[in-house]
Amino acid sequence: MKKLKEVDVNNSIPEQTMLEKIYDELQQLKKQVTITDERRVSIKEFAQRMKMTEVTFYDRIKKGEIDPPRKDGRYSYYLNSYVNKVVTKTSNSDKVAAYT
């Protein structure tokens, strides 16, 4: 049987190192997800995901609640990461408002 290496309980360096490694890996995964999540989302799809009409959606843009879309020639679009952030923020604030 192998003898386990004894670790000083007062010495938390190995735990700190382990936590730093875990944190670094999580940051790398987060970057990879962000990179792969940058597809273009049309205004129509964004409005559907927000469960509102396009007219209401454009009103939110005018009020400054939603950033204006990016343009590629005549095509207006949003990056999926921004859409997810807005949809998540809106759904969370709705839940908070419903429970207060």
DSSP result, 43-93: HHHHHHHTTS-HHHHHHHHHHTSSPPPEEETTEEEEEHHHHHHHHHHHHHH
The answer on pLDDT for 13 being more than 60 is yes
**Is residue 8, in this structure, part of any structural domain at all?**
no
The answer on pLDDT for 94 being more than 80 is no
**Is residue 63, in this structure, part of any structural domain at all?**
yes
Question: Which residues form the domain of 87?
Answer: 41-99
Q: Which of 60, 49, 58 is nearest to 88 (CA)?
A: 49
**Is residue 61, in this structure, part of any structural domain at all?**
yes
The number of domains in the chain is 1
**Is residue 32, in this structure, part of any structural domain at all?**
no
**CATH number, position 62:** 1.10.1660
Which one has a higher pLDDT value, 27 or 30?
27
In this prediction, residue 31 carries a pLDDT of: 76
**Is residue 35, in this structure, part of any structural domain at all?**
no
Instruction: Please give the average per-residue pLDDT across 80-99, as a whole number.
Output: 71
Which one has a higher pLDDT value, 25 or 99?
25
**What does residue 13 show for φ and ψ, rounded to 5 degrees?**
-60, -45
- 29-79 confidence digits (pLDDT tens): 877 766 666 899 999 999 999 999 999 999 999 999 999 999 999 999 999
